[in-house]
Amino acid sequence: MKFSRQLTLAAVVALAAVSCGTGSDTPIYKDASQPVEKRVEDLLSRMTLEEKAGQMNQFVGLEHIRANEAHLTPEELRTNTAQAYYPGFPADTIEQWTKEGLIGSFLHVLTIEEANYLQELAMQSRLQIPIMFGIDAIHGNCNCPDNTAYPTSIGLASSFNTELAYKIARQTAAEMRAMNMHWTFNPNVEVARDARWGRCGETFGEDPYLVSRMGVESVKGYQGDMDSDDVLACIKHFVGGSQPINGTNGSPTDLSERTIREVFFPSFKAGVEAGALSLMTAHNELNGIPCHSNEWLMTDVLRGEWDFKGFVVSDWMDIEHIHDLHATAENVKEAIYQSIMAGMDLHMHGVYWNEAVCELVREGRIPESRIDESVRRILDIKFRLGLFEQPFADPQTTMDVRLCKEHRETALEAARQGIVLLKNDGILPLDAKKYRKVLVTGINADDHNIMGDWTAAQKPENCVTILEGLRMIAPETEFVFVDQGWNPQEMSQAKVDEAVAKAGRCDLNIVVAGEHMFRGNWSKKTCGEDTDRSDLDLVGLQQEMIERIHATGVPTVVVLVTGRPLSVEWISNNVPALINAWEPGMYGGQAVAEILYGKVNPSAKLSMTMPRSVGQTQMIYNHKPSQYFHPYVVKPSTPLYPFGFGLSYTEYEYSDLSLSSEEMSADGSLKVSVKVANTGKTAGTEIVQLYLRDRFSQVTRPVKELKDFARVELAPGEEKTVEFTITPDKLMFLDKKMKPIVEPGEFIVMVGSSSADKDLLTASFWVK
């Protein structure tokens, strides 16, 4: 680290005391006993225009700048969306601006030492306004080394466990504050409806209701009471980027207002109602208007309709892209003007923002009162998070929180609950006495890639690979490992041949296939941010290897490690056991092994539909009735595995679906109950799902929509009655004039183990 010094605990305390001010002449904004609103207004009144513009701007960290200016060319910099530096403005310049109070926020600061150092520089400024550090803590703060890496959101959503989402967010907040981080760019509450899109793994899947429920609990977990123990949540990306016209991140999105309001808005609105105090706009244009200059989104809807109280932040250089990509602004200054006047509050990231904002105000194009609105929102958060009283974190105690025993246990439990068993012809759980010699191979068999996208390189002891997990759980078994390397695009034919040869001499074969998401190999990824696919097949020689290993006649199990649904129809039709582990995090290897050997009974259900091929795109469960009026020819129109599907090592039987009444008033409620029995010999957890359909309506409605779910633990032979309550909000839709309505008529209730018709019991009731 290239810092002048590391802060000692004594220095931290001393500087914190200075930042708070002492004596009777203490400004109001430094007086913690004063109301936040009063402190904000006092500070705002003391600020110059340049200082205000600085609070609205974010920079990448010093070490990030130094690392990237050493190897990135200006041309590479122009199109890079993960790494940055500022040509002509070295790290020393950024340090000086921080001392002058001209920078309000940093991102890509990855150590407590750098965060404290930058905060120390800010304390030398005229007003001593603390820095707010943002970080992509997407599934834990593991974009920084030495932090807990939980499963990614797509796997967490497959647990259907909202309490677990809250718990992970709370623990992430604790680890962030222990590093002097204050703001996570999460949760991603986009509704992922195109598996080609590389960022599916960051989301909670394809269903608006499930995404909303998981997103709300994440927001509450991060933000808590919004004080010194909490962090700021950021709901993103607003809106529509998860259904791009060609599946690629940031490409145009063209959606009807009905689809926007019924599919994509609900999770954001729920996040706002849960108290989210920052929101990030999307890379893409929406119906011809870049989201970063979209007044309808940021002002009319977000603030006008939903009464959003927080601030709006841009995504990586996307204000500049209004000019150089979307071409709706003649220059960057005009792009900044358009974005601010549309409702933007904070810029990620760059050196020319401050100058342009000040010019626009002095030219009279942007009223200073408009700048004050944004700065007021940003300062409000800094005061509420206690940054003026606690600008530093203690390096002596940071590791008491990070990677602590409780957080590690949560990461393991989340992995266990998010791994989906897709197929089992009786081979699982594995019998260690029967399968004494087991081949293990595949690109993800012994790789930290299982931690998923948005993960920094972690110490070996902080990740259990699948091979390590197998050896841990079945120590008496001889595991024959053939390393296929980590890069599916550069697999060796010789190594594939070696695996096939050894497969025939083993009792069982385990192939761990899938995608590569590790950010450290940015240009080699096949999944993750800015890594979109024109097909959903296994990359490289993986499919060939699986087919040849299967052809040996030795029983074969395939485990997928992936951040998106993959089309693995041949595997599903031929291999006796298939598991989708998603990106299971730091203890994913242990969890996979526990499930394979029956130490844990799988319970997860798919949070995204798995298509048979990319040609089925768009493949979602909540489609409109006419979508398959004319089915595909040659191949089926049905998915490979539907939303909500997942197997167990026991059997569940549903019976006696009943309604408390055959009628419901438009402002009333109705109870739905169903009996669920564990008819097998293994204890398990079943995820019971409730779907609704409006039988006839004035506008077309989906064939079914998830409206509730419950995790039910059942001992062998045990039966429980599960009860749901249907309320008017679960029946509401937008009428022909886009007004919310609960329409009289028949509604169909469906309850069961997945979204597939064959897995559902049905009944109906009438709304009067």
Structure tokens at 751: 């309850």
- d(CA 532, CA 253) in angstroms, rounded, equals 15
What burial class does residue 634 get, using C-beta atoms within 10 Å of its C-beta: 0-12 exposed, 13-18 middle, 19+ buried?
exposed
Contact 521, 487 (CB under 8 A): yes
- Please report where in the chains the tokens 């608006």 appear, as a residue: 208
User: How many Å apart are CA 13 and CA 415, to the nearest integer?
Assistant: 39
Do 121 and 574 contact (CB within 8 A), yes or no? Answer: no
Q: Is 342 exposed, middle or buried (0-12, 13-18, 19+ CB in 10 A)?
A: buried
Structure tokens at 387: 């940054």
What is the maximum alpha-carbon separation in the chain? 84
For the sheet with 684-694, list strands across it. 663-664, 760-767, 745-752, 684-694, 705-714
Residue (of 667, 663, 668) closest to 745 by Cα position? 663
146, 230, 315, 708: which one is catalytic? 315
DSSP annotation of 738: S
DSSP SS3 for 217: helix
Three-state DSSP class for residue 485: coil
DSSP characters over 507-555:
SEEEEEEE----GGGGGG-SSSTT---S--SPPTTHHHHHHHHHHT-S-
Q: In whole angstroms, give the CA distance from residue 642 to residue 648.
A: 16
Q: Write out the DSSP string of 595-646.
A: HHTTSS------SS-B-SSGGG-S--SS--GGGGSSPPSSS-SS-SB-TT--
User: Would you say 34 and 20 are in contact if contact means Cβ atoms under 8 Å apart?
Assistant: no
The pair of three-digit structure tokens given for residue 232, joined into one six-digit string: 């700021």
Token couple for 297: 């989104």
Instruction: Determine the Cα–Cα distance for residues 525 and 538; give it in Å rounded to an integer.
Output: 13
Contact 263, 299 (CB under 8 A): no
Q: How many CB atoms lie within 10 A of CB 227?
A: 11
Using CA atoms, how far residue 411 sits from 216, 261, 685, in Å, is: 20, 34, 19
User: What is the DSSP secondary-structure string of 117-159?
Assistant: HHHHHHTTSSS-PPPEEEE--SSSSTTSSSS--PPPHHHHHHT
Phi-psi domain of 40 (left: phi exceeds 0; alpha: psi -120 through 50; beta: other): alpha
Distance of alpha carbon 305 from alpha carbon 715, whole angstroms: 47
Closest CA to 704 of 618, 762, 660, 645: 762
At residue 289, φ and ψ (nearest 5 deg) are: -115, 120
Q: Quick check: 744 and 768 in contact, CB under 8 A?
A: yes
Q: Is 42 a catalytic residue?
A: no
**Which tokens go with 443?**
């690109």
**What residues contact 737, with CB distance under 8 A and at least 6 apart?**
none
Contact 619, 195 (CB under 8 A): yes
Residue found under tokens 């409605």? 701
What is the DSSP code (8-state) at residue 69? H
Beta 719-726 vs 670-678: how paired, if at all?
antiparallel
Residue linked to tokens 């990231």? 349
Catalytic residue list: 315
